[in-house]
Structures are given as structure tokens and as C-alpha cells.
Amino acid sequence: MSEKYFDKNAQKYTEDYYLSQIRHPKWQRQKTIEKLVKKFFKSSSCKILNLGCGPGLLEEDLSSFGFFGIGIDSSPAMINLAKNRSLEKNFSDKWQFFVGDCEKTKLNSGEFDCVIASGLIEYMPSDEKLLKEVKRLLKDDGILILNITNLFGWSTCLNRIGHYLKKSNKIVSIANFIKKEFFKEKVTVNKLNFNPRKHFPALFIRRANINGFELLFSEYQGFTVLPSPLDLIFNVIPGDLNNKLDFLKKTPLKFIGASNLLAMRKK
């Protein structure tokens, strides 16, 4: 079901969560991924696979540092956006984009130095199939950079309630009116016909270890004063208070971050 949603809403999703919101947590995640790639690899010798690549924004930035590779997404609309972007931004010589199944890519075993899977595994029915495919694709000692949604995340704790409330067209209309009239938000409420999974980070890391990966890096991200969608109240305060809470990732409160970005080496 998630495949149909992203295919139908590819352009809107890209505008809502990236292009129109320069302070959205997804940008913070992307910048951290870029730093990790540069930390672990030299651009001239590293071939990267981005699973669930979306519109190609990460590939655009990585190409500016000399990195190259392949982006795969199950949504043809997302792949079209990525291909068009690669031509418009002049990085089509470094990156190729294909529609495909991220759990069964049909790519060669041991072909990649690095596999990125950010904002992907929560849409899969389980973890093992993706982890096994990534292990097959990576070279020996290759690196997996992966993001999971935190089960204990404060800013996402109302997501399940919101998911059911959004089934009402009346509630969605009211919410969009409030966003537009009171918060001057252009981003409208998105109705999902599926509920992404959340992870207990410690258990996921243990599961990844069983499937042949050792942890190298872990960082919690996405801190807000109030859980979404109530955090909009603080997004309109001058200075954007929510974005000043990033320091929490270095405190005992890091465990309430919305997501956990991990880097793991193939054993």
C-alpha cells in the first residue's frame, strides 16, 4: 500500500517534506548521512546503493562530493523525479535510477561499498528480508546506513491516533483550515492508507547483529517540544524552538528522538 501512496503523491511528498521545509528533520537526517559517507569512504572508490531513493535529493548532494552509484525505488513516479533531477542538476553521469524491489534488487552480490536505506524499513512487513538482501549486496566490510522510527519517540507518539483521525474527511478539512489560516502552512494533511512500523532500537540493533552487521554509529534525531501535529505551535515561534532541541541527542533524553540513524558494518 505504501508503494501506491508514494507513486500517487511523489511530487507533493517531495514539495511538502523537502523543498518547502528547509528545517524539516529529513534534511537533518540527510546531512548526517552525507557526513557518514564522507567519514567512511573516499569518493573516487566508493560505489553506493540508495534503497528507497525517492526524488534523488541525497544523490544530488553526494554527487557534489564525487560519490556515484545507483538509486532504486518501488515508485515509478519517484524514479521519474530522480531521473529528471539528475539531468537538471547535472549528476546523471554519476547516478543511475531504477524502479525495483528493495528486498529483491536483482543486482550483483558484493557490488557495493555502501548501502543506504533511509526512511524505508518501516514500510516493510519485517526486517530480515531487507537485511539479508543488503548483506548480499555489500562487499566485505561494507557499510549499511539505515534509519529506523523510534518506538519511544516523543514527537511521533500521536501518529497512530492521527492515522485513525485522518480517516475522517471532516477532521482533515478542519486540520487543513487551521494549518492554512492560523499557522500559514502550505503543507496539507496527508492521509495514509497504511501505518508505518516503529522499532525498539536496541532490539533492532540486536537483530541486525544476528543478521551479520556490527554497529559503528548511532544517533537519535527529531526532537520537538510537543508531539506532532501539536509541534506546529512552536514552529511559528520566532527562532523555531524545535530546531534548537538538537542538543538533546547528547543527553540522557536522546532516547525520545523520533528516529535512530545507524551505521553498521557487514561482518
Distance CA 80, CA 181 (A): 34
**Host domain of residue 35:** 2-156+194-222+255-266
Q: Does pLDDT of 1 surpass 60?
A: no
pLDDT per residue as tens digits for the range 76-106 = 999 999 999 999 999 999 999 999 999 999 9
- Confirm whether 151 is domain-assigned: yes
Distance CA 98, CA 83 (A): 9
Instruction: Rounding to the nearest 10 degrees, give the CA dihedral for residues 165, 168, 172, 173.
Output: -150
Instruction: Return the H-helix or E-strand segment holding 143.
Output: strand 138-149
Q: What CATH number corresponds to the domain at position 99?
A: 3.40.50.150
- Confirm whether 245 is domain-assigned: no
Distance CA 78, CA 122 (A): 18
How many domains in the chain? 1
As to burial, measured by CB atoms within 10 angstroms (0-12 exposed, 13-18 middle, 19+ buried), residue 170 is: exposed
Q: What is the pTM of this model?
A: 0.87
Q: Which residues contact 249 (CB under 8 A, 6 or more apart)?
A: 219, 220, 221, 223, 257
CB-based burial, 178-198: b 16+ in 10 Å, e otherwise: ebeeeeebebebeeeeeeeeb
- Confirm whether 152 is domain-assigned: yes
- Confirm whether 89 is domain-assigned: yes
Q: What is the identity of the amino acid at 163?
A: H
Distance CA 37, CA 48 (A): 9
Q: Which residues contact 191 (CB under 8 A, 6 or more apart)?
A: 166, 167, 172
Q: ∠ CA(260), CA(252), CA(242), 5° rounding?
A: 65
- Provide the pLDDT confidence category of residue 250 given band limits of 50, 70 and 90: very high
The per-residue pLDDT for 235 is 59
- Confirm whether 78 is domain-assigned: yes
- Provide the pLDDT confidence category of residue 223 given band limits of 50, 70 and 90: very high
- Confirm whether 96 is domain-assigned: yes
Distance CA 234, CA 218 (A): 27
Distance CA 120, CA 54 (A): 10
- Provide the pLDDT confidence category of residue 185 given band limits of 50, 70 and 90: low
